[in-house]
Structure 1
């Protein structure tokens, strides 16, 4: 039997190790990015440093926009607004009970051009929805009860459904929110500076500072590595245990085989001796026959002592015969097992 538990633990350990290594590598990359303390310094930095290689920087400021979105339910003003609507209902299952379930009805997102402003200058952020670490604030969460008519409700009930209502959730990135952005800084032809996803490198939009991001990645890297070591040790233990059990099982079968072959090798000589001296004495021959062990064909440990009815075969012990439904020799169904006793 394949030790799937041990292999699974080892594969999980390898995956966790790779995750920890990736988190540690991201933390080292964040340590190497250029930190911009004031946004007014970024333009001069781009003029000097961006002529050879792409400039990956980290900046901080508050969210702003010239055309913010006014949220319908919460009344907040934001630059990214996500609206979802879920239909909640009770569903009749095969067991005869009602279980609660939901289905997505609407998923919509709006985004306007926005920037970070620290009081010295502003820098536009592009493609923030695809960045790592962006968490939108839940502006409102409203549950509208189902107002279906009696006829519609009856039709739903006949189909095994009971409509409860619609849950609408509004998530928003409000203006004035302090953010830290890590990405590639570029300047267009008219002098507008923006931060975007680099071709190769980190792209973060987070409420945490750059130091908090580095500390968090380092913490996860350590936890992944500790978990990897734990899964490795447990997986090796399971594999070693399976290997030990396999070796002991093979040794037990080899020992039983050796005993059976040794008894079979003695049998011919004993039969010849009995035929020359005591042919007329049946009891002596029976005692000599018992020198060859009548082992159960299932476990090869106990002597067979059970008779199958109605086929009459006797080839297993009582312990093994209790788990059988058909005779191992003729495959006939066993209706009764009768135990035999040796005198």
Structure 2
């Protein structure tokens, strides 16, 4: 049987190692990206930058939009708005007790074209919802209790449900929020500058600064590395333990087979010398029978010490005999197991 515990630990260690390597690679990329102190300099840098390789930059500014969204519940103005509605209820489990649960009813997202503005220029951001590090602020969270209709309540109760109400959550990226964006800078035909996801490399939209992002990636890379080493050590321990146990069992089995073959060869030699002609109740026969090892035929580890009734065979230990219903030698049904003692 394979040591699945050790194999699983080693596979987890490999996954953690890849995650740590990816975090370290992203940190190195962020260290090498071009940093801009003022957005007005980006247009000139794009004109002089190489057109073959993607021009990855990091910029900072405040969120703005010409057509912001007016949030219905919170009253905020934002550029990305997510609305979700969850139905909360009590349900009856198999044991008859009531537990609280929820199910999502509605999930809707709105986004308008928006940009970063630092006072010197504007840079439009494209595809920010798929970027790493984007955090939307919980602008509104309300709970509406369900109506107390008698008919509806009776039907829900018969189905094992008790409706509690609907929870509505509104998340928004408000205008004026300070953000740091890391991505590929491009300029369209009309001269508008966009920052989008690079074909290769990280894409970040985060309220943290570039130095904070690099520091966090370094911390995660080290944590993944240490966790990978721990899982590797534990997995190797489990595999080595299983291998040592397997080797010891194989050595025990081979030793038992060697003893059986030696005993069989010695008995065959005695038979050829004419020892079969002696009296069956003589001491020589007793010594000859004692040549065979007194080991349980099931586990091949402990000495046999259990007699089966009514067949009378003595070939198993008490531990193995407790799991048997028929004698392994004659296949007769076992009515009783009697433990024997040598002294």
Unaligned runs of 5+ in 2: none
Deviations 1:246-304 (A, max 9, x none): 1111111111111222222222344555444x427545533432333343211334443
Distance in 1 of aligned mates of 2:281 and 2:126 = 105
Q: CA RMSD in A?
A: 2.2
Does the 8 Å CA contact 1:65/1:113 hold for their aligned counterparts? Answer: yes
Q: Which moved more, 1:27-36 or 1:286-295?
A: 286-295
Report the CA distance shift for 1:153/1:331 in structure 2 as closer, same or farther (over 3 A): farther
- Which residue does 1:223 correspond to in 2? 223
SS at 1:315's partner residue? strand
Within a 5 Å distance, the mapping from 1:292-311 to structure 2 comes to 292-310=292-310
Query: How far is 1:135 from its partner?
Result: 0.7
Match of 2:185 in 1: 185
> Distance in 2 between the 1:174 and 1:203 partners?
20
Over 3 Å counting, the alpha-carbon distance change for 1:292 and 1:46 in structure 2 is closer
| Deviations 1:133-154 (CA, angstroms, capped at 9, x unpaired) | 1010111111211114110111
Instruction: Name the stretch that deviates more: 209-218 or 288-297.
Output: 288-297
1:199 aligns with 2:196: no
Larger deviation, residues 92-101 vs 129-138: 92-101
Which digits, 9 at most, give the CA deviation of each residue in 1:165-191, with x for residues without a partner? 111111100111100011111222222
Structure 1: distance between partners of 2:280 and 2:250: 43
CA distance in 2, matches of 1:335, 1:252: 32
* 1:90-101 equivalences in 2 (<5 Å): 90-101=90-101
Residue-by-residue CA offset, 1:2-49 (whole Å, 9 max, x unaligned) = 011111111111111111111111111111111111011111111221
Question: Hey, what does 2:43 align to over in structure 1?
Answer: 43
Task: Tell me what 2:103 maps to.
Answer: 103
Counterparts of 2:311 and 2:223 in 1: how far apart (Å)?
64
Distance in 2 separating the partners of 1:323 and 1:280: 34
Distance 2:64 2:326 in 1: 80
CA distance in 1 between partners of 2:22 and 2:266 (Å): 68
Q: Give the TM-score of the pair, scaled to structure 1.
A: 0.92
Which stretch shifts more, 51-60 or 123-132?
A: 51-60
- TM-score, normalised relative to structure 2: 0.92
Q: 1:124 to 1:252 in 2, by over 3 A?
A: same
What does the per-residue CA deviation read over 1:299-338, in whole Å, with 9 as the maximum and x for residues that have no partner?
3344434333455544312232123244334555533213
Output the CA distance in 1 between the equivalents of 2:173 and 2:60.
15
SS, match of residue 292 in structure 1: coil
Corresponding residue for 1:260?
Answer: 260
Per the alignment, residue 86 of structure 2 pairs with: 86
The residue number in structure 2 matching 1:251 is 251
User: Which residue number corresponds to residue 279 of structure 1?
Assistant: 279
Using the TM superposition, name which of 43-52 and 129-138 deviates more.
43-52
Contact persistence 1:267–1:292 (CA under 8 A): no
1:150 aligns with 2:150: yes
Give how far 1:342 is off. Answer: 6.3
- Structure 1 distance, partners of 2:301, 2:196, is 74
Structure 1 residue ranges without an equivalent (≥5) = none
In structure 1, what is the equivalent of residue 5 of structure 2? Answer: 5
Count of aligned pairs between the two proteins: 342
Instruction: Give the Cα separation in 1 of the matches to 2:329 and 2:148.
Output: 69
Give, in angstroms, the shift of residue 69 of structure 1. 1.2
* SS of residue paired to 1:208: coil
How far apart, in 2, do the equivalents of 1:222 and 1:15 lie? 14
Q: Quick check: 1:73 aligned with 2:73?
A: yes
Displacement of 1:209: 0.6
- In structure 2, relative to structure 1, the CA distance for the partners of 1:329 and 1:86 (3 Å cut) is farther
Give the Cα separation in 2 of the matches to 1:143 and 1:69: 23
Q: Is the 8 A contact 1:182 1:205 kept in 2?
A: yes
